[in-house]
Amino acid sequence: MGKNFKKVIALTLSLLLITGCQSQTQTSSNSIYNEGTYTASATGYHGDVTVEVKVSSDKIEEVNVVEHSETEGVGTTAIEKLPDLIVEKQSLAIDVVSGATLTSNAILSAVEDALGQAGADIEALKVATESEAKEEVELSADVVVVGAGGAGLSAALSAAENDATVIVLEKAGTLGGTTITSGAFYSTGDPELAKRAEMNDTMRAQVEELVNLEPNCDSMAKWQETVKQQYADYVASGSTAMFDSEEYYMLCVYVDGGMVGDVDLIEWTCANADEGYYWLEDNGYVWSDRVVVGKNGDNAVIEPDIERCRRLVGDEEYGRPATQMIDVLEQRAIEVGPDTKIYTEVQATELISDNGKVVGVKAQGKDGTPYTIMANKGVVLATGGFASGVEVREKYNTIYPYLGEQVHSTNVVSDTGDGINMAEAVGAQLVDMEKIQVNKINHYDLGGTTMIAAAFSNILVNEDGVRFVNEYDTETEVAKAILSQPDHKGFLLADANNCNVTDGKTSGGEDVEQAIADGYIFRADTIEELAQQIGVDAQTLKNTIDTYNESVRTGVDEEFGRTTFTKQDLIVEAPFYATPVIPGVHHTMGGVKINENAEVLDTEGNPIEGLYAAGEVVGGLSGNNRMSGDAITANVVQGRVAGQQAANS
């Protein structure tokens, strides 16, 4: 991510002060370092990571991260671990924390800079000592959970509540998986919880539309009939609170997923969503009284009740909701059970099968240590999806022209499809693997949306300076159009009126001046100058914008049929901005097929004894599109069932 400009100024001043006052006395000819305290910075995931390193003549005494903007629970894990390891090993030959690579590299780079200031032999400090062969570690527990995200820790807690001993394996160096990077939105169909929000005309129209759709299966017809009666009773009651029910939630999930989801999985997941909500609350998770209705639109503005999206959120007074959720699940899993152990940086590589029954897991530690972990009762797969697994998504992708390495993922780097591959190897049935959800707009070089200097519905042009899509088309269609362009790249344009720059920052909090200096955002006072900066023909770009502006003024888009325009969409007032963009994989709807007991099914539809699954590793819930809030619900509901069933098998 781009550097924070104010931090750079502050750091420059602090370096000047330190240079003027720190002790750098060479104590002897055999000294390794010039004694003193040194400060340096390097770019992490969300900005500068600044370290302070104290050395004596022959030793690194302290390493402290004194300033950062890294994600709580992800980057902060590297901040907690690496400084102590550097001091302990007196070395820069330290492995990065899995799942927090950018933060880890920033810490190591900044410490290297600081030690260079101290006169250290940097190359010597980077030499790793040869590691000895590791002996195999043999472990056992009643339930072995693979993955320590929201689904895995829900399964661990549920198994512990059912008096099972539990071992959790997590290949990353941090707990939480993609859950901890999320907003922790949780969906239910509970009418009592729905009373926290008011009904509006958009919601009413949506209920009426869904109940009158032509059903494509018996389950859909059944849900519609139930909802019709519920809604009639609701209208007759005169209530002004938001209408909701479990059956309406089921109907919304099914329709939003293109009416191709697994109706049985949808039914039992949605029917148990409220129980999951109260289960989290009973275990110490603190909910707010707020319901978020709608989804995040351009510039994170909540659009009213689009795709249903009625999400409950945690109380931020108790910490960032996602971090609070993971902390609660972890702590309670350890507290309530007879014996729960969590191993990080230990990657499961193979399921152990005995006469068709899954009885354990083979794994390997980051340091090369082999593990054999036997499960007395069952194994729960909760490894997430494959949004960050380039090979897997390329293998199954049939929708998009390209999902290779250049396409970023909004998920954690550990979501590479490991659990799906292990399950398939023991005969598991996979469903919906081609159904991959993308966000149409991510920064081309960096991924994510914090470095975007425009509304996501602004005009898009390619590297020829030509418009190529209706920017208001579906997420999938816009993504396909961008990925069909040369280098799979588009430029999102903006002017002074429709950029998302406020007080020198993007809506994602990035410093625009620094982003421009780093080449991540382009800005110019004329279209011709902007064209030169992004490498397109100036006259072509000017003609494209003129034609687009005419469509905005008349409301008629003869090229691409866009019908949604406002005066603010015009590109007329300097300064003009361009951001290079590419879609990013956001969620993978495919995975293993499970039944209502969270048992993984084989290719004949029969349960694989001893094997359970929960969360994004499971396929079928969301059809061809995941509705916001459903992933966390699935983690909790399915994880709770998987842990309980495994413990009692």
Per the CB < 8 A criterion, the answer to whether 361 and 350 are in contact is yes
pLDDT digits (tens, 9 = 90+) for 188-200: 999 999 999 999 8
CA distance 112 to 605: 55
User: Nearest-CA neighbor of 345 among 589, 142, 94, 520?
Assistant: 94
Distance between CA atoms of residues 361 and 382, nearest Å: 13
- C-alpha distances (whole Å) from 42 to each of 4, 67, 264, 327 are 11, 11, 50, 29
Closest CA to 619 of 215, 246, 216, 257: 257
Q: pTM score, two decimals?
A: 0.84
pLDDT digits (tens, 9 = 90+) for 22-35: 333 333 446 888 99
State residue 223's pLDDT score.
98
* Closest by Cα among 455, 444, 452, 459 to 542: 459
Cβ neighbours, 10 Å, residue 175: 26
Structure tokens that stand for 57 in this block = 């003549």
- pLDDT tens readout for residues 584-596: 999 999 999 999 9
In this structure, the strands spanning 166-170 and 137-146 are parallel
420-463: per-residue pLDDT in tens? 999 999 999 999 999 999 989 999 999 988 899 998 889 999 99
- How much of the chain exceeds pLDDT 90, in percent? 69
Task: Tell me the two tokens of residue 144.
Answer: 């072995």
Q: Residue length, the chain?
A: 649
Closest CA to 141 of 165, 113, 114: 165
Peptide bond into 583 cis (omega under 30): no
Alpha helix (H) ranges present in 381-460? 390-396, 418-425
Average pLDDT over residues 3-11: 33
Report the C-alpha gap between 172 and 354 in whole angstroms: 28
User: Which H helix or E strand runs over 528?
Assistant: helix 527-534
* CA dist list (Å): 414 to 148, 287, 327, 471: 11, 28, 19, 32
Predicted confidence at residue 481, as pLDDT, reads 97
**What is the mean pLDDT of the segment spanning 365-375?**
95
Residue found by looking up tokens 């190529």 in the block: 468
CB atoms within 10 A of CB 126: 13
Measured torsion, CA atoms of residues 33, 38, 43, 46, in degrees rounded to the nearest 10: 130
What does the pLDDT average to over 180-193? 92
Per-residue model confidence as pLDDT tens digits over 523-569: 999 999 999 999 999 999 999 999 999 999 999 999 999 988 988 99
The 10s digit of each residue's pLDDT in 99-122 is 677 788 888 888 888 888 988 888
